[in-house]
Structure 1
Amino acid sequence: MKGLRLVLTALLLGAALAWPALAQPGAVGGLIETDQGRAIAVIAFTELVETLPVTYDESEEQVPLADIKSITRLDGDEVVLENIAGRKFKAIMPMSAISRGDMIAYRAVEPISGRVEPAAIDGAFVRRVSFTR
């Protein structure tokens, strides 16, 4: 019984110490859905831009990323943006525009080891990105 209590205490302490690394204040997590139907649970997107450069009604606009709930790619660079109020509108932008680099960078739990690992995916393979705040 004492051994089990010690193991449980160690697990709880480990989880408590690891939690700040998993969910940093202000971190934006979410879900990435690929063209192949794979869903990637994202603990935190890294290198996110503050504003999205989109073409809407034939004019260039800067949309604050904090106002966006999800982005769904329709065809090519045509996307549907859903804002946090639930309104949807079509725009043109590459999926990789949400990240500062050429790839969408994020941290996720590696399924085999269970460790949080940095990863990246080419926006061309992403069908949908949903953000949780």
Structure 2
Amino acid sequence: MERDGAGLPKRARLRVGYDKLGLEENWDSIVACDPAQGLVEAKSSENASQGLFDVLQTRWKIVPLEPGSDAPTTVKLDVNVKFRNPVYDQMFAQVEQKVAGAMISAFEKRVKQLDEKL
């Protein structure tokens, strides 16, 4: 992972896949973080995979319900996926919500791990 001067991720190699379909691939991404806006975006790099995906892009928006407090936070995840093979696009459309749910669950788990370290 490559980081910027502030220590935030700038480039990352992600491993993506879906076991039930037997799909897995490493994916180089450009990462943009804007802590002031609560925004993290990852999109395919100019050297993107020549394998499964044409596009793989995620955008996380993290907004405290009451800024400056320990109140709950809203997290919005947008995922843009386009497979090279249209059959995979159709299959993914059927499990898209489950995949997004798994991503949110992994995010929540990581937040709890980090919170325990504080």
TM-score of the pair, normalised by structure 2: 0.27
Choose between structure 1 and 2 for higher RCO, CA contacts under 8 A separated by at least 6 residues.
1
Bigger fraction of residues in helix = 2
Structure number with larger C-alpha Rg = 1
